[in-house]
Copies of this chain bind each other. A is one copy, B any other.
Amino acid sequence: MKKIKLDISRATDMTNIMKYAKKVQDIHNKMESYESLGNEFLGWKDLPNNIDIHDIKKMELIANQLHQNKIEVLVVIGIGGSYLGVKAGIDFILGNLPTPQERKMEVIFAGESLSSTDLAQKLKYVENKKFAINVISKSGTTTEPAIAFRMFKKLLEDTIGKNNAKDYIIATTDANKGSLFQLANDNGYKKFVIPDNIGGRFSVLTPVGLFPFACVGLNIKKMISGAKLANEDYSIGSLEDNLAYQYAVTRFLLWKERGFVSEMIVAYEPNVNFFLEWWKQLFGESEGKLNKGLLPHSAIFSTDLHSLGQFIQEGSKVLFETVITVKKPIIDLEIVDDKDNLDNLNYLINRSVHEINNVAFQATLDAHSSIGQVPNIHIELPELNEESFGAIVMFFERAVSMSAYLLEVNPFNQPGVEVYKSNMFRIMKKPS
């Protein structure tokens, strides 16, 4: 398998980051011996080695059953970590157009908002289609997915009867407790387990992501093997040899020593857009504590060069960029000849579109970093496939943990998310 590449030369240099080698090694050792802050949530670290092949087979089996029963739409109900990674993985490989031929069924997402308009439009969308529900929630009582699940469940039961509906509802939840666990047991839904030692934003390679991935036809075994191989590289304590840690230290330096307040992660592939949303949760929730952390931002180039590009080039100098490019596109195209050449594109006819995309990357790298004085970190993925997805997930999960420990915050909690929730329950007079 080709590996992920990292280039930090337009942000700092190795001499500079090696000042942190001992600190990184110390944090690493603490993580490896489960003595670090939040150590009860370090399960993601060894996940690719711990996945049970029987679970994989069960996921593939149920996905196939849905497919054979001609399910057109899988409604995935979840929020935050039970939503972002799932959509990130599907779009990463299949793109975000509705039902391209490659996927076995369409996936839509619900329970990630409280908009009645959005929920009603989604309920209407599946009304005359054969749909199944995968509800993902550790507790089953998070307001957004709980409301959506109640509504979609009712629609399904009203359409095909309660007894049939149970065969088209799959719950991904706690192994032993919680209201969704209870509901699934009482109604005979099929169940998958969210492990206790893995927090929401680190859960994409558990059944949270893997089951929907299997449903659209992705190869989840390859995804795990990609994660496993990459994980070997990111599980070593030597900063000199660990790219995930080098990335973590570089961004820490830019924050601490050079005063940048925001990291804009950028990709040149629209398919990666939602992966960047996943990344924003991963970094924002893991770091944003005790008035610390880089404000996570994202963009897709070249489209946003015609939007945020002006600000990056010439606006306030508050951000640096982390740019993701892809070595080998899923599909390449040649610029077609046109004898009229009224659009003046004929000078490109022996080039491929991917090559031109790479030129845009090179041109922008120079424009932003040299002329615009915006530091740049470059990450190159080998491909947009299952292996690469598994690998880049492990890269960032490892990096964010190191990064939060460098900031001296717990990477694995999110106490601030509770504030709006408890306010809400107070206003709505939720019975305790």
A residues with CB within 8 A of B: 79-81, 83-84, 95, 97-101, 108, 112-125, 140-141, 143-144, 146-147, 149-151, 154, 179-180, 182-183, 186, 200, 261-262, 268-271, 277, 280-281, 284-285, 287-297, 300-303, 305-319, 326, 329-333, 335-336, 338, 340, 342-345, 347-348, 351-354, 356-357, 359-360, 362-364, 366-368, 371-372, 384, 414-417, 419-421, 423-424, 426-431
Is the Cβ of B371 less than 8 Å from the Cβ of A333? no
The smallest C-beta distance from A278 to any residue of chain B, in angstroms, reads 9
A99, A295, A332: residue with the most chain B Cβ atoms closer than 10 Å: A295
Is the Cβ of B420 less than 8 Å from the Cβ of A360? yes
Residues of B with C-beta under 8 A to A343: 140-141, 146, 149-150, 179-180, 183
Contact of A347 among B99, B268, B429 (CB under 8 A): B429
Docked Cα-Cα span, A285 to B424, in Å, equals: 37
Is the Cβ of A308 less than 8 Å from the Cβ of B284? yes
Contact of A372 among B80, B150, B330, B419 (CB under 8 A): B419
Is the Cβ of A314 less than 8 Å from the Cβ of B291? yes
A140, A294, A342, A414: residue with the most chain B Cβ atoms closer than 10 Å: A342
Docked Cα-Cα span, A95 to B108, in Å, equals: 13
Is the Cβ of B297 less than 8 Å from the Cβ of A295? yes
Docked Cα-Cα span, A269 to B117, in Å, equals: 8
* 5 more A-B residue pairs beyond the given contacts A98-B98, A287-B311, A306-B417, with a C-beta to C-beta distance below 8 A: A97-B121, A112-B306, A146-B344, A293-B311, A305-B420
Is the Cβ of A311 less than 8 Å from the Cβ of B296? yes
Is the Cβ of A261 less than 8 Å from the Cβ of B416? no
Is the Cβ of A332 less than 8 Å from the Cβ of B116? yes
Chain B residue, CB-CB nearest to A182 = B342
Residues of B with C-beta under 8 A to A290: 314
9 intermolecular pairs with C-beta atoms under 8 Å apart? A114-B302, A115-B357, A117-B331, A143-B356, A146-B345, A147-B335, A183-B340, A281-B307, A291-B315
State the oligomeric state as a number of copies.
Answer: 2
Residues of B with C-beta under 8 A to A430: 344, 347
A116-B353, A330-B117 in contact; A154/B423 too (CB < 8 A)?
no
The smallest C-beta distance from A135 to any residue of chain B, in angstroms, reads 10
Those 6 A-B pairs whose CB atoms lie nearest each other, nearest first: A288-B315, A80-B306, A288-B311, A313-B416, A363-B423, A281-B307
Is the Cβ of A331 less than 8 Å from the Cβ of B121? yes
A95, A150, A277, A318: residue with the most chain B Cβ atoms closer than 10 Å: A150
A125-B97, A293-B316, A338-B150 in contact; A118/B427 too (CB < 8 A)?
no
Docked Cα-Cα span, A423 to B348, in Å, equals: 15
Docked Cα-Cα span, A118 to B305, in Å, equals: 17
Docked Cα-Cα span, A313 to B415, in Å, equals: 9
Docked Cα-Cα span, A345 to B277, in Å, equals: 29
Residues of B with C-beta under 8 A to A101: 124
Is the Cβ of A423 less than 8 Å from the Cβ of B364? yes
Residues of B with C-beta under 8 A to A329: 115-117
Docked Cα-Cα span, A172 to B200, in Å, equals: 46
Docked Cα-Cα span, A123 to B100, in Å, equals: 11
Residues of B with C-beta under 8 A to A186: 340, 342
Is the Cβ of B113 less than 8 Å from the Cβ of A95? no
Docked Cα-Cα span, A196 to B122, in Å, equals: 40
Is the Cβ of B149 less than 8 Å from the Cβ of A306? no
Contact of A284 among B149, B307, B347, B353 (CB under 8 A): B307
The smallest C-beta distance from A129 to any residue of chain B, in angstroms, reads 12
Is the Cβ of B83 less than 8 Å from the Cβ of A417? no
Docked Cα-Cα span, A368 to B288, in Å, equals: 14
Is the Cβ of B318 less than 8 Å from the Cβ of A262? yes
Residues of B with C-beta under 8 A to A306: 79-81, 83, 112, 200, 281, 417
Chain B residue, CB-CB nearest to A426 = B363
Contact of A308 among B296, B316, B340 (CB under 8 A): B296
